[in-house]
Structure 1
Amino acid sequence: MVSHEAFKTLGYCYATFGILGSIMRVVSSVVLIEVDAVNKPSNSYYYHNISSSFVMLVFFLILFAGIYYKNIVIVKIYKVFLIISSILIQLVIVANIGFTIFYEQKKENSASFLLALIVGLAIFTGLFLLFLWIVNGVIGYIEHGAVLIADEPRQTDEDDQQMKVKYEAVLTRF
């Protein structure tokens, strides 16, 4: 079993790599748009990359802030985004597999393309489960910290009064 502090570190690493990856994807898309503007009319694919990269950047920043401030609601918002986006991507891959099976059976490359899609789906599902495990571990880390804080004994007014009496006794000795 992994400790709660290890999940905090894994969460920070995951969020940091996600932030850096999103920034690099935005930069590469902007560069490709500039290169295409010189050669031919720009492709809308690059604009889609930029917008999806900004969405990913915002959600990775949300995850990072949720870990830093130990806010479980923010981390759960990221978890919902992770689940929904992964399900949508998996549905697109399954639809591509279905189209390949039903419409491209007679082509030579369809078998290798189908195999690539199935392997890609398996790898993507494994990565999704890894990321979900990390996010669930971060949620456990935050909940564990909240339980520890709630279990700590709080000082009552009676305890404060006893402390004042002790300090006054010490101060009157001098």
Structure 2
Amino acid sequence: CSDSESYVQIVKEISEKVDVNAISSFTGYGIENLSQYLLNDKTIVFLGSSGVGKSTLLNTIANQNLMKVNTIRDSDGKGRHTTTHRELFLLPCGTTIIDTPGLRELGMSDVEDGINDTFSDITDLFSECKFRNCTHTTEPGCAIQTAIANGTLDEERWNLYRNLQCESDWGKEKMKEIRMFTRNLKKNSIKHSKW
């Protein structure tokens, strides 16, 4: 990608706590930056959509063809789904890499601490709101709305936080339903076994 640094900046704006490295398995661009992660007794997992180059990256880092890869489609310039299983590889430097098939969806579970850590600039503002039960929409004295208005908080970042928080809340509710269902199932199973 000729403009990779602009994409790196976009991701860094979401969270400065996340390391972002633009790399290319085809040109070798940025591959040397990965050496900081390839440490003895460390495990790395490659996760991503189908055809994005996870196995190609593994082959590039290992400097050998460990996993089968496919060509890029001429019709849309995208990679092809090739990897069908998870496999663990131990590199000579002592790093273990797990290559995985492409993901269609990545769910969220028990991520509250991660969201709060990533968006600590936002969660710190909550205590500055005039009202403890502030919904951060129309209340007077809302620190979030003030920060957005004066430009110290990007509205897109606020919306991303809200979306992730909403998804996290939904996941917690689903897990609660599953626990209740399982508990009821066990309870009913015990009742029936006493007959």
Range class of TM-score, shorter chain: 0.3 to 0.5
TM-score (norm 1): 0.34
Structure with higher helix content? 1
